[in-house]
Every structure is written in structure tokens, then in C-alpha cells.
Amino acid sequence: MENQKLRKQNKIWISINYLSLITGILLFYIVKNHHMPLTILWFEVGIIAVLLVSFYKAFIITKFWKMVHTSSKDLDEREMQVVLNALRYAYSIFAIICIIIIYAFAIAENQPIDVVLAGGLLYFAHILPVGIVGWNEKNN
């Protein structure tokens, strides 16, 4: 029962991490495209704080970050299979999301992808395999 509670809490923290990433990027573009006052971007500080706290709670405390980012020599057979499976799914999901973003920018005839979106995609690429492991595995 305790294990299920920990898994549910971890899924919530993973969801909060992804939502804060999306919210931060969307807020930046809303302010930029609608010529809103730049002071609204101070909300980004709160969003970044939530992103950091949820990253710590979902990935560092649970040791999933270390599991995904360690050498395969240091993993047992089960852990290696879990990580390889997560990487396979993460690569597929990330490729699809990047293609959708590129086509959306092309259809909207919007500016090219800038540093904020590129940075968000880079962060997303790093946390996606860890998020998949954290979503499916029990806490250590």
C-alpha cells in the first residue's frame, strides 16, 4: 500500500514538472506575441522554482535520474532493460513532438525556433527518459 502511495506521489511530481515546463514556455510566448508588459515574466521565477522543486522530488530523491544517467556497466540486467526501454520510448515521443512543433511553426509562418523553445526541448529531452522510468517503476 505504501509503495502505491509513493508511485502516485511520484507521478504527481513528474506531471507537475512537465506542466511547469509547458507553462513557462507558453507564458514566455504569450507575453512576447501579445506585446504584454515584460513585468508579467516575473511569474517565470515562480514557474522555474516549481520546475526545480518538482525535478528534485520526482527525479533526484527517487534516484531515477542517477539510474538513467549512469554507465550501463553499473546497472544490473533489469535496470538496463528498464533504461533502454525508456530511452526507446523517449526517443520516439521526442521525435514526434519536435516534428509537430516544426510543422506548426511552418504552417503558422512564424519565426524560427528561438533559444527559449530550444532550451525547453533540450530540458525535455533529458527528463523524458527519467520521467518514463519514474512513471513505471517503484521508488528505490
Each residue of 24-70: pLDDT tens digit? Answer: 999 988 888 888 887 887 898 999 999 999 999 999 999 999 999 99
79-138 confidence digits (pLDDT tens): 999 999 999 999 999 999 999 988 887 787 767 778 888 899 999 999 999 999 999 987
Q: CB-based burial of residue 23 (10 Å sphere; 0-12 exposed, 13-18 middle, 19+ buried)?
A: middle
From CA 77, how far away is CA 56, in angstroms rounded? Answer: 26
Place of cell 530511452: 87
Q: 3-class SS at 103?
A: helix
Q: Which residues contact 138 (CB under 8 A, 6 or more apart)?
A: 3, 6, 7
N-to-C CA span, the chain: 15
**Domains of the chain by residue range:** 2-136
- DSSP code of 137? S
